[in-house]
Structure 1
Amino acid sequence: MKTITSRDNAQYKELKHLATSAHALRKAGRTLLDGVHLCETWLQLRGQPEQCIVSDSGLRHPEVVALVAKLEAAHGRVLQLPDALYEPLSQVEHGVGILFLVEMPRQAMPAALAANAVLLDNVQDPGNVGSILRSAAAAGIREIYCSPGTAFCWSPKVLRAAMGAHFVLDIHENVPLAPLMAAARIATLATSGYAKRQLYDMDLRQPVAWVFGHEGQGVSDELLSLARHQVVIPHLGQVESLNVAACAAVCFFEQVRQGQARAG
């Protein structure tokens, strides 16, 4: 285990830059996983991190100690920091004091949409994006495509909201969605509060590409025009619309319900 005690250390400066700048994360192609759950999930699903960073107080936490022991047994790189140096790296208030520095997985773009997929059109809230990723993973959907205006999927806030879903998904960012939809080999379904057809009237027993839009404006007019179907989720009460993450979850699990009904 290596220890750094100076703020002027070059490696520490690099870590702090990554921790405080989404642009730096994108440029480096790396991100920081914060907390025991995300770190354990990465270790189980993806293997060794590039580096583990722990605080002095974190090494008094039993779960952190056990995780560090696993890494050291496998000759993983562990960096110990005083709490005063560690805290600027973490965005979790009252966290347990462990971070993984990992390389963001990169997947090749498929030639055309052919399997269940999620297309996010300018969804800007990190919590919403993370929740959608988590629901997609739980529903068995693997492919995620994000337009340039969508929140950065590998930011700390999205990572925390998704609770490890990233590690079982193929995430593609900064993707022009219109050409992707135009070339799709499967049905594309865009949600819209103005659609005439209800979600529950759709046959979802075949692969579908779901299109969800901006929290305020919804799916853009261009993408709505390209979608094979526009659907609305009926709701009761004096509420204009569902939150986009709630809308996505309803759609995904209606598809799961129909698929299981067919299988049964």
Structure 2
Amino acid sequence: MSYERHFTQIESAQNERLKAAVKLLSSNHGLRNSGLAAAEGLHLAETLLHLPGVHIESVWIPQSLLNKPEWLTMSALSDVLENGEVRCLVLSDALYSKLSKLSTPTGPMIFFKPVNASAAIDLNQDIVLLDGIQDPGNVGTLLRNCAAAGVQQVALSDHSAWVWSDKVLRAGMGAQFGLQLYAEEDLLKALSSAKSKIPVRVTSLHPKSVDLFNANLKTAGVWVFGSEGQGVSQAWLDRASEHIRIPQSKTIESLNVGSSSAVCLFEQFRQRR
């Protein structure tokens, strides 16, 4: 099936729209200020194009991708192309490489408006806080862990990596789109107005810490995971009602935050099955 009539061809590196897109992608700060995010690759495209209510601003397609079966058979493609507000731009592979941040650009590149949480935080359900996690790979891994372990609410501190950056999107494999994402401030407000005490769980070597496999994780609560270097901030350590220790052999000092979050969240998942 051909969709060529829906495409706008870009022939020159001097094209103003292409130059603007390249400039936007040059920094997360600029992209974030524009109110847009960008996702690259067929997996993320398939996820994005299937989501109801997501505003797609533009789709950039390298020429070599146009006739590949995996692109032409993408089930949601026709819906996007029939929407007159979405611009589909085709450019040579050489021009597309100016957009891509991948060593081997694949396309497509989709600019879209980040998806905001659709409801207030529900403290009757679990929520994970990413406390100052700056590494994009770790943030993406944590988002995937949350989604896989059935935690649908995630809050991020201001010092964590931007959840819609290209590196976090790739590491999270689109997990962002299935989660309710909040700021740390939203979580603090929800906790301050809670009518009952909400468990706040941190992993630590506190003298009164409980072995993870002996901890009762059947009640919904807040998990706080801190950065690789600093760990959980003192402010959240002070708020913690449950200090949890992950048992492990003495051959290694500690687990990284991606691994420790997976161990904790899946032990919780196991206890509730």
Question: Same fold per TM (> 0.5)?
Answer: yes
In the alignment, what sits opposite 1:38?
44
Shift in Å, 1:253:
0.7
CA distance in 2, matches of 1:38, 1:155: 13
Structure 1 residue runs of 5 or longer lacking an equivalent are none
Q: Is residue 254 of structure 2 the alignment partner of residue 241 of structure 1?
A: yes
Q: Is residue 238 of structure 2 the alignment partner of residue 232 of structure 1?
A: no
Contact 1:181 1:227 in 2 (8 A): no
CA distance in 2, matches of 1:152, 1:208: 24
Contact 1:178 1:222 in 2 (8 A): no
SS of equivalent residue, structure 2 residue 232 = coil
The one of 20, 23, 27 equivalent to 2:29 is 23
Shift in Å, 1:106:
1.6
CA distance in 2, matches of 1:181, 1:116: 12
In the alignment, what sits opposite 1:62?
69
Contact 2:203 2:244 in 1 (8 A): yes
Shift in Å, 1:65:
2.9
CA distance in 1, matches of 2:270, 2:110: 36
TM-score, normalising length: structure 2: 0.87
Q: Is residue 229 of structure 2 the alignment partner of residue 216 of structure 1?
A: yes
CA distance in 2, matches of 1:180, 1:244: 25
The one of 187, 191, 194 equivalent to 2:199 is 187
CA distance in 2, matches of 1:160, 1:111: 26
In the TM superposition, 1:132-151 aligns within 5 A as 132-151=142-161
In the TM superposition, 1:1-264 aligns within 5 A as 1-46=7-52, 49-67=56-74, 68-69=77-78, 71-73=80-82, 76-107=86-117, 110=120, 113-173=123-183, 175=185, 185-194=197-206, 196-260=209-273
Which has the higher mean CA deviation after the structures are superposed, 110-119 or 37-46? 110-119
Shift in Å, 1:60:
3.8
The letter for the 1-side match of 2:23 is H
SS of equivalent residue, structure 2 residue 21 = helix
The letter for the 2-side match of 1:24 is G
Note closer, same or farther for the CA distance 1:229–1:174 as it changes in structure 2 (3 Å cut). Answer: closer
TM-score, normalising length: structure 1: 0.89
Contact 1:190 1:229 in 2 (8 A): yes
The C-alpha deviation readout for 1:133-175, integer Å capped at 9, x for no partner, is 0010111111111111111111111100111101111112464
The C-alpha deviation readout for 1:96-135, integer Å capped at 9, x for no partner, is 2211111101226736744211101111111111000001
State, as a whole percentage, how many aligned pairs show the same letter.
Answer: 38
Contact 2:128 2:154 in 1 (8 A): yes
The C-alpha deviation readout for 1:210-263, integer Å capped at 9, x for no partner, is 000010121011210111111111111321110101111111111110110xxx
Note closer, same or farther for the CA distance 1:168–1:234 as it changes in structure 2 (3 Å cut). Answer: same
CA distance in 2, matches of 1:177, 1:121: 12
SS of equivalent residue, structure 2 residue 254 = coil
CA distance in 2, matches of 1:41, 1:176: 27
SS of equivalent residue, structure 2 residue 66 = helix
Following TM superposition, where does structure 1 have runs of at least 4 consecutive aligned residues deviating by more than 6 angstroms? Answer: none
Structure 2 residue runs of 5 or longer lacking an equivalent are 1-6
The C-alpha deviation readout for 1:22-53, integer Å capped at 9, x for no partner, is 00121112111110001101122345622211
The C-alpha deviation readout for 1:152-199, integer Å capped at 9, x for no partner, is 111111100111101111112464866665555521101114452112
Shift in Å, 1:69:
4.9
Contact 2:121 2:186 in 1 (8 A): no
The letter for the 2-side match of 1:211 is V
CA distance in 1, matches of 2:96, 2:139: 27
In the alignment, what sits opposite 2:4?
none
Q: What is the aligned length?
A: 260
